[in-house]
């Protein structure tokens, strides 16, 4: 690592951390004081609430802090005449921007990695603490299709990985040929194990004199392989988030069942791709900054940079909401705008840098 790279990274990371900590303290602090009266009296639950809220806020503040930290770094470099000095010594703009680009890319990748863990459900967890439901999590009356089976769960407990009052119907050629009824089922070893199942089988050929329904009992019966309780909970909840791993699992599973996956694809694209919108933005802010402090209007530069950042971030957030609600398919609402954003930013950068 060159001396120049170390110097720029030292300046940038210092500014980034100042902005990140400030934003985190502001948003988490405001939220805590607003909801303090509704939180449980338990100090442990209050700390958990702060922890989950901090990570949820981090998914919003980290990308913005990367941009705001870069704006602050540029202001410091320009006002101290350091930027013009570097350019005068023959340092290219690409070498100045490259270390910031790489470290920002790395931090976004780390954030995406964290969203592959249970921390991705931080918003749900903090909401359950706020609603005094942290130790109780259940969904009622879930009806779903799995291959040739239609399954009804009267009660689903995602955290405990169990369900109560299960009815499973095996359908062949639009006809129910078998039904399974049980009081309890548990999810273990990537399968649902049904306890004390009552199985009713209808004869394939119905004859008034000889046909009869066969009834048998099974102590253990497994089905729904790979259908995780958390996936069940999230797919059938209108307002929910996914970890990246659960989103991929749900996407593959529901695709096999020919069920609409727009919501899951939208969540996956938003978590994996949209956060990288900051990279072209930081590049554009850099090339439109001034080298000379004498002609540098700090207020105008900072105001326009922050305004433009919030506009772009808000636009992608709005497009995510559109795709999540099914108004626009996620490939058109998220992937296409991201591709165009990168292409247009790169073209502008190349034209501006060649002057």
pLDDT means per 10 residues, the chain with 355 residues, are 84 94 93 86 86 91 94 90 82 84 94 87 83 67 72 77 83 79 83 83 68 77 68 54 76 70 83 90 88 78 92 90 80 91 90 70
For residue 150, what are the β-bridge partners? Answer: 145, 169
Q: From start to end of the chain, where are the E strands? A: 139-146, 149-157, 162-172, 175-188, 191-201, 214-223
First to last CA, the chain: 29
Q: How far apart are CA 39 and CA 47, in angstroms?
A: 11
- Structure confidence at residue 61 (pLDDT): 93
Bridge partner residues of 178 (DSSP):
170, 201
Output the pLDDT for position 239: 47
Give the number of other CB atoms < 10 A from CB of residue 307.
10
Task: With H, G, I as helix, E, B as strand and everything else as coil, classify residue 147.
Answer: coil
Compute the distance between CA of residue 27 and CA of residue 25 in angstroms, rounded to an integer. 6
Rg (CA), the chain: 27
Chain center to CA of 105: 17
Please give the pLDDT value at position 317.
Answer: 87
CA angle 154, 156, 160 (to 5 degrees): 150
Q: Which residues pair with 188 in a beta bridge?
A: 191
Looking at residue 123, its pLDDT comes to 85
pLDDT at residue 58, rounded to an integer: 92
Closest CA relative to residue 148, chosen from 257, 47, 278: 257
Question: How much is the pLDDT for 241?
Answer: 67
Please report how the helices 43-79 and 3-35 are oriented relative to each other, as an axis angle in degrees rounded to 10.
140
How high is the pLDDT of residue 94?
81
**CA dihedral (29, 30, 33, 35) positive or negative:** negative
Considering the entire predicted model, what is its pTM? 0.77
State residue 28's pLDDT score. 92
- Report angle CA 131, 132, 138 to the nearest 5 degrees: 85
């Amino acid at each position: 690592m060159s001396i120049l790279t170390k110097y720029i990274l030292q300046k940038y990371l210092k500014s980034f951390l100042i902005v990140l900590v400030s934003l985190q303290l502001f948003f988490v602090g405001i939220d805590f004081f607003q909801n303090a009266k509704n939180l449980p009296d338990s100090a442990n639950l209050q700390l958990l609430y702060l922890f989950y809220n901090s990570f949820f806020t981090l998914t919003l503040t980290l990308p913005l802090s990367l941009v705001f930290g870069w704006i602050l770094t540029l202001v410091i470099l320009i006002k101290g005449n350091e930027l013009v000095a570097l350019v005068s010594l023959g340092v290219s703009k690409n070498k100045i921007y490259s270390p910031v680009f790489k470290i920002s890319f790395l931090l976004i990748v780390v954030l995406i990695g964290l969203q592959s863990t249970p921390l991705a459900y931080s918003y749900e967890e903090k909401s359950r603490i706020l609603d005094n439901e942290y130790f109780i999590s259940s969904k009622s009356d879930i009806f779903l299709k799995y291959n040739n089976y239609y399954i009804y769960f009267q009660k689903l407990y995602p955290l405990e990985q169990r369900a109560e009052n299960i009815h499973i119907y095996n359908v062949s050629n639009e006809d129910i040929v078998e039904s399974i009824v049980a009081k309890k089922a548990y999810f273990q070893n990537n399968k649902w194990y049904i306890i004390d199942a009552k199985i009713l089988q209808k004869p394939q050929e119905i004859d008034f004199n000889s046909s009869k329904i066969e009834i048998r009992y099974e102590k253990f019966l497994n089905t729904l392989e790979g259908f995780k309780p958390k996936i069940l909970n999230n797919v059938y909840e209108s307002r929910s988030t996914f970890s990246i791993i659960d989103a991929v699992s749900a996407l593959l599973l529901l695709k096999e069942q020919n069920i609409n996956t727009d919501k899951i694809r939208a969540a996956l694209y938003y978590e994996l791709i949209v956060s990288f919108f900051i990279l072209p933005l930081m590049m554009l802010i850099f090339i439109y900054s001034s080298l000379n402090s004498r002609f540098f209007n700090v207020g105008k530069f900072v105001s326009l940079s922050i305004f433009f950042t919030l506009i772009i971030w808000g636009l992608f957030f709005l497009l995510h909401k559109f795709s999540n609600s099914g108004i626009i398919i996620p490939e058109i609402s998220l992937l296409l705008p991201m591709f165009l954003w990168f292409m247009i930013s790169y073209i502008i950068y190349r034209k501006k840098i060649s002057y």
